[in-house]
Amino acid sequence: MDTLQQNVALLDAVAPAAGAPGREILDPATGEVVGVAPVHGLAELEAAVAAAKAAQPAWAAAGHDARSAALMAAADAVEANAEELARLLSREQGKPLNGPNARFEVGACAAWLRATAATALAPEVVVDDGEAYAELHYRPIGLVGAIGPWNWPMMITVWQIAPALRMGNAVIVKPSEYTPLSVLALVKVLNESIPEGLLTVVSGGREVGQALAEHPEIGKVMFTGSTATGKAIIRSSADTVKRLTLELGGNDAGIVLPDADPAAIAEGLFWGAFINTGQTCAALKRLYVHEALYDAVCEALTAYASAVPMGVGLDEANVLGPLQNKAQFEIVANLVEAAKDSGARVLLGGNPEPGQPGYFYPTTLVADIANDNPLVAEEQFGPALPIIKYSTVEEAVAMANGVSVGLGASVWSADKATAREVAAQLEAGTVWINQHGAVHPLIPFGGAKQSGYGLEFGAEGLKHLGVPQIING
Ligand code: NAD
pLDDT (tens digit per residue) in 328-338: 999 999 999 99
**Helix 82-93, helix 180-190: angle, nearest 10:** 160
Q: Which of 229, 279, 323, 403 to mutate to test the pocket of ligand 1 (most atoms within 8 A of CB)?
A: 229
At residue 6 the predicted structure's pLDDT band, cuts being 50, 70 and 90, is: low
> With the C-alpha atoms ordered 67, 71, 72, 76, is the resulting torsion angle positive or negative?
positive
The Cα–Cα gap between 410 and 400 comes to 10
- What is the rounded average pLDDT of the residues 386-400? 98
The Cα–Cα gap between 97 and 90 comes to 6
Q: How far is the CA of 424 from the centre of ligand 1 (A)?
A: 29
Q: Which of 206, 280, 450 to mutate to test the pocket of ligand 1 (most atoms within 8 A of CB)?
A: 206
The Cα–Cα gap between 147 and 159 comes to 11
Nearest-atom index, ligand 1, CA of 249: 34
The answer to whether the beta carbons of residues 283 and 436 sit under 8 Å apart is yes
What pLDDT was estimated at residue 409? 98
Whether the per-residue pLDDT at 355 is higher than 90: the answer is no
Work out whether strand 243-247 and strand 452-453 pair parallel, antiparallel, or are unpaired: antiparallel
Q: Which of 23, 226, 329, 330 to mutate to test the pocket of ligand 1 (most atoms within 8 A of CB)?
A: 226
The answer to whether the beta carbons of residues 116 and 465 sit under 8 Å apart is no
> With the C-alpha atoms ordered 7, 9, 14, 16, is the resulting torsion angle positive or negative?
positive
The Cα–Cα gap between 236 and 213 comes to 6
Nearest-atom index, ligand 1, CA of 229: 2
What pLDDT was estimated at residue 18? 86
Least confident of 17-21, 43-47, 202-206, 274-278: 17-21
At residue 259 the predicted structure's pLDDT band, cuts being 50, 70 and 90, is: very high
Nearest-atom index, ligand 1, CA of 328: 25
Domain ranges of the chain: 31-120+138-248+451-468, 252-440
What pLDDT was estimated at residue 448? 98
Pocket of ligand 1 (CB under 6 A): 147-151, 156, 174, 176-177, 205-206, 209-210, 213, 224-226, 229, 232-233, 236, 247-250, 281, 379, 381, 407, 447, 451-452
Give yes or no: 79 in active site.
Answer: no
At residue 3 the predicted structure's pLDDT band, cuts being 50, 70 and 90, is: very low
Which of these is catalytic: 44, 79, 247, 456?
A: 247
Residue type, 200: T
The Cα–Cα gap between 44 and 280 comes to 30
**Which of 1.10.3720.10, 3.40.309.10, 3.40.1350.10, 3.40.50.300 would CATH assign to domain 252-440?**
3.40.309.10
Q: How far is the CA of 248 from the centre of ligand 1 (A)?
A: 7
The answer to whether the beta carbons of residues 174 and 204 sit under 8 Å apart is yes
Q: How far is the CA of 388 from the centre of ligand 1 (A)?
A: 28
3-state secondary structure the chain: CCCCCCCHHHHHHHCCCCCCCEEEEECCCCCCEEEEEECCCHHHHHHHHHHHHHHHHHHHHHHHHHHHHHHHHHHHHHHHCHHHHHHHHHHHHCCCCCCCCHHHHHHHHHHHHHHHHHCCCCCEEEEECCCCEEEEEEEECCEEEEECCCCCHHHHHHHHHHHHHHCCCEEEEECCCCCHHHHHHHHHHHCCCCCCCCEEECCCCHHHHHHHHHCCCCCEEEEECCHHHHHHHHHHCHHHCCEEEEECCCCEEEEECCCCCHHHHHHHHHHHHHHHHHCCCCCEEEEEEECCCHHHHHHHHHHHHCCCCECCCCCCCCCECCCCCHHHHHHHHHHHHHHHHCCCEEEECCCCCCCCCCCCCCCEEEECCCCCCHHHHCCCCCCEEEEEEECCHHHHHHHHCCCCEECEEEEECCCHHHHHHHHCCCCCCEEEECCCCCCCCCCCECCEECCEECCECHHHHHHCCEEEEEEEC
The answer to whether the beta carbons of residues 330 and 337 sit under 8 Å apart is no
For ligand 1, atom 39: residue with the closest CA: 247
> With the C-alpha atoms ordered 410, 416, 418, 423, is the resulting torsion angle positive or negative?
positive
Give residue-wise pLDDT tens across range 80-125.
999 999 999 999 999 999 999 999 999 999 999 999 999 999 999 9
Give residue-wise pLDDT tens across range 275-327.
999 999 999 999 999 999 999 999 999 999 999 999 999 999 999 999 999 99
Give yes or no: 281 in active site.
Answer: yes
For ligand 1, atom 11: residue with the closest CA: 206
* Domain 31-120+138-248+451-468 shares a fold with domain 252-440: no
What pLDDT was estimated at residue 366? 98
The CATH class of the 31-120+138-248+451-468 domain is: alpha beta
At residue 1 the predicted structure's pLDDT band, cuts being 50, 70 and 90, is: very low
- What is the rounded average pLDDT of the residues 216-244? 98
Give residue-wise pLDDT tens across range 142-195.
999 999 999 999 999 999 999 999 999 999 999 999 999 999 999 999 999 999
Which of these is catalytic: 281, 298, 379, 456?
A: 281
Nearest-atom index, ligand 1, CA of 447: 41
The Cα–Cα gap between 64 and 468 comes to 16
Q: How far is the CA of 141 from the centre of ligand 1 (A)?
A: 23
For ligand 1, atom 30: residue with the closest CA: 225
At residue 2 the predicted structure's pLDDT band, cuts being 50, 70 and 90, is: very low
What pLDDT was estimated at residue 4? 47
What pLDDT was estimated at residue 9? 83
The Cα–Cα gap between 94 and 328 comes to 13
